[in-house]
Amino acid sequence: MHDQAALNQVALGCGLALGELIQDEEQKKLLLLIRDNPSPEQRLCVNKWARRNGLKPVFVNMSFDS
């Protein structure tokens, strides 16, 4: 299990905001990217990191309308 500080560092390295990458506590192999419409480069960056670390990336599109 990776701590949130490590995930935030990866998120920033992939051009994401803090808190947009989380690891599921019950399904520890899942790395969740929660962002509205991530770019292909961001998805690739997260995918590569997840695979190198034995995780399965899951991309969740969320839209926060005001």
The answer to whether 30 touches 51, Cβ cutoff 8 Å, is no
With respect to residue 50, please indicate whether it lies within any of the assigned structural domains.
yes
Query: d(Cα 36, Cα 25) in Å, to the nearest integer?
Result: 22
Q: Could you list the residue range(s) of the whole structural domain that residue 20 is in?
A: 4-60
In a domain, 66, yes or no: no
pLDDT at 66 > cutoff 70: no
Q: What is the pLDDT of residues 2-38, one digit of tens each?
A: 889 999 999 999 999 999 999 988 899 999 999 888 9
What pLDDT, on a 0 to 100 scale, did the predictor assign at position 9?
96
Report if residue 51 sits inside a domain: yes
Domain count, the chain: 1
Query: Using N-to-C axis directions, what is the helix angle for 40-52 and 4-13, rounded to 10°?
Result: 140
CB contact at 8 A, 21 and 47: no
Question: Measured at the alpha carbon of residue 21, what is the angle toward residues 17 and 24, in degrees to the nearest 5?
Answer: 155
pLDDT bucket at 1, cuts 50 / 70 / 90: confident
What is the separation of C-alpha 37 from the centre of its chain, rounded to a whole number of angstroms? 13
In the prediction, which pLDDT does 25 show? Answer: 87
pTM: 0.86
65 belongs to a structural domain: no
